[in-house]
């Protein structure tokens, strides 16, 4: 319950109801703000914001909330940029859960670390994404290699050289687990105590 409330608070306070919007501030040759051009760009952005998701179920604000929630909960999220998509703008975004980035895919010769292929400077050049979710019954472990220029890998690194994210609640998870069990024990004890019964008996019986 505390964790769910935390994720909700992150979405509410970072993204808000309407999401992070675009404010275009292009200038003309005289150094003045080009109001007409800015208005046209912002209007086009608003239209794209309604069709930006490949599944057709989320707006730009919805996607932002999903993204920040995933980063807080899982420590990371992948956003794939789909070009030539079937909408008026030929561009859309696909959210990929971090579970699809295989932790167990490591290859020293190909310089793959936990599903991420790196160059000599440890710069990501490709992401090896599982075709299905690892928890799915039909999961077979097959991967798709996606070039890094199609992927936005969002996470907050805590140390130099880190390639995968860490859940933002990681430092408090043990304490939350203990608190959960403590509350359960207290509630169970209270319920057992409330269920205790006593009986009065008289020497003559029912009379």
Beta bridge partners of 100: none
> Mean of the pLDDT values across residues 159-186?
93
What pLDDT shows up at residue 54? Answer: 95
Residue 207 has pLDDT above 70, yes or no: no
Residues 20 and 11 sit within 8 Å (Cβ to Cβ)? no
In sequence order, what DSSP letters do the residues of 87-107 get, joined into one string?
Answer: STTSEEEEEE-GGGB-TT--B
List pLDDT tens digits, range 147-168.
999 999 999 999 999 999 999 9
Residues 151 and 79 sit within 8 Å (Cβ to Cβ)? yes
What pLDDT shows up at residue 132? Answer: 85
Q: Which residues are within 8 A (CB) of 161 and not within 5 positions of it... i.e. 6 or more apart?
A: 122
List pLDDT tens digits, range 75-126.
999 999 999 999 999 999 999 999 999 888 999 999 999 999 999 999 999 9
In the chain, the DSSP E strands lie at: 76-83, 91-96, 112-113, 116-118, 124-130, 143-147, 151-155
> Mean of the pLDDT values across residues 5-34?
93
């Amino acid at each position: 319950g505390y964790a769910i409330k935390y994720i909700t608070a992150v979405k509410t306070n970072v993204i808000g109801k309407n999401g992070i919007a675009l404010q275009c501030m292009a200038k003309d040759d005289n150094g003045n703000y080009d109001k007409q051009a800015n208005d046209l760009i912002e209007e086009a952005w608003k239209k794209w914001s309604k069709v930006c998701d490949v599944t057709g179920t989320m707006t730009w604000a919805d996607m932002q909330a999903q993204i920040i929630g995933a980063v807080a909960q899982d420590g990371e999220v992948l956003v794939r940029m789909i070009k030539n998509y079937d909408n008026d703008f030929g561009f859309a975004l696909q959210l990929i859960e971090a579970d699809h980035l295989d932790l167990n895919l490591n290859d020293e010769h190909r310089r793959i670390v936990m599903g991420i292929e790196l160059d000599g400077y440890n710069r990501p050049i490709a992401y090896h994404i599982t075709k299905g979710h690892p928890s799915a019954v039909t999961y077979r472990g097959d991967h798709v290699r996606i070039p890094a220029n199609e992927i936005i890998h969002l996470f907050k690194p805590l140390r130099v050289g880190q390639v995968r994210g860490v859940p933002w609640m990681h430092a408090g998870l043990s304490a939350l687990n203990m608190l959960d069990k403590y509350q359960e024990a207290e509630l169970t004890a209270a319920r057992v105590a409330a269920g205790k019964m006593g009986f009065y008996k008289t020497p003559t019986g029912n009379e």
